[in-house]
Amino acid sequence: MSIPIKKIYVDGSVIEEPLTERVLENAPGIPEEIIDVEAFQERVADQLTLSQGKRVLFITGQKGDLVKPCPGTLAPYLCCRYTVINQIIQCPMDCTYCVLQEYLDSPVMILHTDMDDVFEDIDGLLASQPGRFFRFGTGELSDSLVLDHVTELTRDYARFFSEKRNALIEFKTKTNRVETLLAVSPKNIVVSWSVNPQPIIDTDEFFSARLEERLDAAGRCQDRGFLLGFHFDPILYTPDWEALYHPLIQQLFSRVDGSRIAWVSLGSLRYPPRLKEIVLKRFPRSRLFYEEMIRGMDGKMRYPKPMRVEMYRKIFGWLMEKAPDLFVYFCMESPDVWDRVMGTHPASNAELDFWFARSLHRRFPELELDSPNRASYTAS
């Protein structure tokens, strides 16, 4: 995969930061310009379309607030109490369904240089709830690995997390950019891939790696000792969805060992209503909205429940055939859907968080997690 960055702007106040120097060194030949934040906003960011902004990187500084709880969604849908690290914002790939099109104000990619602040915030959070196991991730407002060949941030995070207890970091991606990662310690790291059948990647996940490239990268990470994750999210309905998703699962398990998969998530297409107008303008040939959608209790559009349940049941069944011990969870689904597919549901977001810790503690002793105690989850 090749995604060109056309220009790098650097906020003058961070020009001497080590991360800035590293990025500029790793991006020879890309035009650079030093600029202040206001001028960048007016002269650059405000003038670019989203497609243009996705080819521009702005390196800047920001104090605090890069580490926060995943915004998730509203009850009754269940979320997993993940913690996101938003050091990079915006993504150079272009998925038709991407909610960042509606969610982010700025079209350009922004890299925050304040590593020390990020690490301080993480340490503060860990100290505030001893006994709770935390999952962090950098793949919420961008892709965790798509810029890693220039930022090499995975190296900094790997060093930091390898010394932590009761915490791990997930790098979530649709790329095969694992070169930096393959050289670091796999301790306390889960590398995860969002997957879809290749025909859907072709029509809806522009500039991302092909499925076989993603699975090959996953296999290489597993061979190196990393735990893996997979996200079937968003699952898209097409008339032939079964003929697409079943072979995908076969292909996945032909390349990776299910006993080394930390978790698998399932989530079907969902989006805030305002996204539709943006997608129809940017991707006029998209078939994303051809199916019937209902408005869920959190205000987001979703496939009707019987459709979601049917797809989840089949996909969950195919996963269980391959790896009966797999930890599978739903992202933003209702307790009723959990019950109809898995026969049970967590009583709360905190309970789901506890289920993660319990599964990881039981299946991966090398993580050296404290024995999870339900009280430390339900109380916090």
Candidates 32-40, 86-94, 159-167, 324-332; binding stretch for ligand SF4 (CB under 6 A): 86-94
Tell me the residue ranges of DSSP E strands in 211-327.
227-235, 261-268, 270-271, 294-295, 301-302
The reply on whether position 85 binds ligand SF4 by CB under 6 A is no
Nearer to ligand SF4, 94 or 152 (CB): 94
Nearer to ligand SF4, 132 or 174 (CB): 174
CB of 91 to ligand SF4, least distance (A): 3
* Structural contact between residues 377 and 357, judged by C-beta atoms closer than 8 angstroms: yes
The pattern of x and - marking residues 156 through 175 that bind ligand SF4 according to CB under 6 A reads ------------------x-
The pattern of x and - marking residues 27 through 66 that bind ligand SF4 according to CB under 6 A reads ----------------------------------------
CB of 75 to ligand SF4, least distance (A): 25
CB of 283 to ligand SF4, least distance (A): 12
* Structural contact between residues 91 and 338, judged by C-beta atoms closer than 8 angstroms: no
User: What is the distance in angstroms between the CA of the first residue and the CA of the last residue of the chain?
Assistant: 42
Phi, psi of 157 (to 5 degrees): -65, -40
CB of 176 to ligand SF4, least distance (A): 13
Candidates 34-42, 95-103, 249-257, 308-316; binding stretch for ligand SF4 (CB under 6 A): 95-103
CB of 179 to ligand SF4, least distance (A): 19
CB of 321 to ligand SF4, least distance (A): 28
Q: Which of 378, 377, 311, 379 is nearest to 134 (CA)?
A: 377
CB of 168 to ligand SF4, least distance (A): 21
* Structural contact between residues 302 and 333, judged by C-beta atoms closer than 8 angstroms: no
Tokens for 13, please give them. 């106040």
Q: Which of 183, 180, 174, 228 is nearest to 204 (CA)?
A: 174
Report which secondary-structure segment, H or E, holds 156: helix 153-162
The reply on whether position 100 binds ligand SF4 by CB under 6 A is yes
What does the chain come to in residues? Answer: 380
The reply on whether position 91 binds ligand SF4 by CB under 6 A is yes
Q: Tell me: cis bond preceding 234? Omega within 30 of 0 counts.
A: yes
CB of 93 to ligand SF4, least distance (A): 4
From 114, 143, 333, 353, residue interacting with ligand SF4 (rule: CB under 6 A): 143
Nearer to ligand SF4, 97 or 356 (CB): 97
CA distance 334 to 79: 9
Give how many residues touch ligand SF4 by CB under 6 A: 10
From 56, 95, 145, 323, residue interacting with ligand SF4 (rule: CB under 6 A): 95
Residues 174 to 233 in contact with ligand SF4, rule: CB under 6 A: 174, 208
Nearer to ligand SF4, 192 or 208 (CB): 208
Say if strands 261-268 and 227-235 run parallel, antiparallel, or are unpaired: parallel
CB of 96 to ligand SF4, least distance (A): 9
CA distance 344 to 113: 43
Nearer to ligand SF4, 48 or 100 (CB): 100
Q: Which of 153, 136, 126 is nearest to 59 (CA)?
A: 153
Query: How is residue 278 annotated by DSSP?
Result: H
The reply on whether position 10 binds ligand SF4 by CB under 6 A is no
Using CA atoms in the order 50, 52, 53, 59, what is the torsion angle rounded to 10 degrees?
Answer: 170
Q: Which of 155, 11, 137, 153 is nearest to 70 (CA)?
A: 137
From 11, 17, 94, 170, residue interacting with ligand SF4 (rule: CB under 6 A): 94
Residues of this chain that interact with ligand SF4 (CB under 6 A) are 91, 93-95, 98, 100, 142-143, 174, 208
